[in-house]
Amino acid sequence: MADDDIILSELDDDDLVAQMFDDLYDGLKDEIEEGVHILLGRGWAPYDVLTKALVAGMKIVGDDFRDGILFVPEVLLAANAMKGGMTILKPLLAETGAPRMGKMVIGTVKGDIHDIGKNLVSMMMEGAGFEVVDLGINNAVEKYLETLEVEKPDILGMSALLTTTMPYMKIVIDTMKEKGIREDYIVLVGGAPLNEEFGRAIGADAYCRDAAVAVETAKSLVARRHNQGVTA
Amino acid sequence: MPAPSDRILTEAGLAPRGEGRLLVIACGALAREIIAIRDANRMTHLDLQCLPAILHNSPQRIPALVEAAVLEARGRYETVFVAYADCGTGGLLRATCDRLGVAMLEGPHCYSFFEGNDIFAEHGEGTTFWLTDFLARQFDAFVIRPLGLDRHPELRDMYFGNYEKLVYLAQSDDPALTEAAREAADYLGLEFERRATGFGDLASAIAALR
């Protein structure tokens, strides 16, 4: 809770981080931005602020979302608060060459403008320490392939809300196969009308039923690839 | 028999009367329309069962609940018909109905079959947010509250920022409903359009049942 009488700058580091967990949970963007500035001002490395305050805090949000305690509106607010913190940290992380969990290119498929789920995945992935290149909505296969070529991510994420647009994911994956690049990437798919069977049928590596599952699946598959010595 | 209140149709659905040789298992959002079609065609053999309309917001639950209803009806009716389109089940409802040997409505969802599946397929979803009579009446229960807009109106543009227009597909000619739909469009910051569809493909599909 962001009680009016709590002065963030007066809290010691442990209490401040605990308070930031609460503020993330409550979606308080201004307080998160303030907390990030305070920790940086105390000499924290940007990577430590990311992992120990934001990522750890978003883990609680993600777990409660997965367990049905938090719902989409609350997670959107939490993710938006985290994004405020990330905006401050991003340039600093780039400057300091901080390690990262992996990189993801994500977007909704051609003909589909529904991006709530995609945005949640994008924000939760950033909250878990991944670098995310968000292509936004309505992406043709050419856009996906061009971005894969430039960004060289570990993961391609595709999202669709409509029964009429979800088959487009197969077009993207089939084109990747034709070009011989399918195995260079982990392909995750998601969206309300999808299911595991559909994910398997189109040749994705996994179907993720929500943003929390997407993060866990991404972590697990990226770790497996790294263990196998595969790099994009 | 009139349809129950929208609130009951949203949350609980409608139990069948247990009379007649044809059972239609429908989304609660279609109850009024199916009753009107039944009465207009004097289909006294048609019994109606509705699942809660709020399943619209969790379509992954629809196939299992429809299957349970179909199995429950086995032996009690000569024919069972499922008055759902795909409705966001990603083909799973079609697969379920095929496996059970029951017919269902054609099309991706009610917006499509109300307008006419052929017409809807021509223009597609685009950047339009759709309302029907039922959804115009139940906008609060299906949109505002589940999306948390009552508590966090600042989320509106995160949800609806990519839409350009709200199209109200009107099954009835009710100025109050048109006004409610227009208010919904204003609330979401979208252009408003009303299209009178009547019952569209639903009318012919139900009237053709024997």
Q: What is the DSSP letter of B131?
A: E
Nearest CA in chain A to B88: A193
Q: Among A87-91, A148-152, B104-108, which stretch is predicted with the lowest mean pLDDT?
A: A87-91
Nearest CA in chain B to A162: B88
For range B197-202, the mean pLDDT: 98
Q: What percent of chain A has pLDDT over 70?
A: 97
* pLDDT tens by residue, A81-134: 998 999 999 889 878 777 778 999 999 999 999 998 899 899 889 888 899 999
pLDDT at A2 over 70: no
For range A164-183, the mean pLDDT: 96
Kindly report the nearest CA distance between residue B47 and chain A, in angstroms: 29
* pLDDT tens by residue, B46-64: 999 999 999 999 999 999 9
Q: Which of B117, B106, B27, B116 is nearest to B66 (CA)?
A: B27
Residue whose structure tokens are 């405020």: A84
> Does the beta-carbon distance from A72 to B147 stay under 8 Å?
yes
pLDDT at A80 over 80: yes
A 105-124 residues with CB < 8 A to B: 111-116, 119
Q: Does A71 touch chain B (CB under 8 A)?
A: yes
Identify which of B60, B91, B127 has the shortest CB distance to residue A113.
B127
For residue B92, the chain A residues in CB contact (below 8 A) are 195
For residue A114, the chain B residues in CB contact (below 8 A) are 162
Q: Which of A156, A201, A146, A221 is nearest to A179 (CA)?
A: A146
Identify which of B88, B151, B162 has the shortest CB distance to residue A193.
B88
pLDDT of A232 reads 46
* pLDDT tens by residue, B156-196: 998 999 999 999 999 999 999 999 999 999 999 999 999 99
Instruction: Give CA torsion, residues B95, B97, B103, B105, to 10 deg.
Output: -70
pLDDT of A88 reads 95
Residue B89 carries which side chain, given as an amino acid letter?
T
How many CA atoms are closer than 13 Å to the CA of B208, on its beta-carbon side?
A: 10
Kindly report the nearest CA distance between residue B68 and chain A, in angstroms: 20
User: B125: pLDDT confidence band, cut at 50, 70 and 90?
Assistant: confident
For residue B108, the chain A residues in CB contact (below 8 A) are 162-164
Instruction: Return mean pLDDT, chain B.
Output: 96
For residue A201, the chain B residues in CB contact (below 8 A) are none
Identify which of A116, A162, A198 has the shortest CB distance to residue B159.
A116
pLDDT of B139 reads 97
pLDDT at A231 over 80: no
- Asked if residues A42 and A10 have their Cβ atoms less than 8 Å apart, the reply is no
Kindly report the nearest CA distance between residue A208 and chain B, in angstroms: 14
pLDDT of A137 reads 95
For range B11-20, the mean pLDDT: 96
pLDDT of B127 reads 92
The terminus-to-terminus CA distance of chain A in angstroms comes to: 42
Establish, for the pair of chains A and B, how many residue pairs have beta carbons separated by less than 8 Å: 61
> Does the beta-carbon distance from B90 to A195 stay under 8 Å?
yes
Kindly report the nearest CA distance between residue B119 and chain A, in angstroms: 15
pLDDT of B61 reads 95
How many CA atoms are closer than 13 Å to the CA of B104, on its beta-carbon side?
A: 28
Q: Among A65-79, A203-217, B11-25, B186-200, which stretch is predicted with the lowest mean pLDDT?
A: A65-79
Alpha-carbon span A154 to A103, nearest angstrom: 5
Query: Reading across the β-sheet that carries A206-207, which strands appear in turn?
Result: A131-134, A103-108, A155-159, A186-190, A206-207
Sign of CA dihedral A133, A213, B188, B33: positive
One DSSP character per residue, B35-46 reads HHHHHHTT-TTE
> Does the beta-carbon distance from B152 to A111 stay under 8 Å?
no
For residue A192, the chain B residues in CB contact (below 8 A) are 59-60, 88, 90
Between A229 and A80, the higher pLDDT residue: A80
Q: Among A15-19, A195-199, B204-208, which stretch is predicted with the lowest mean pLDDT?
A: A195-199
pLDDT of A3 reads 52
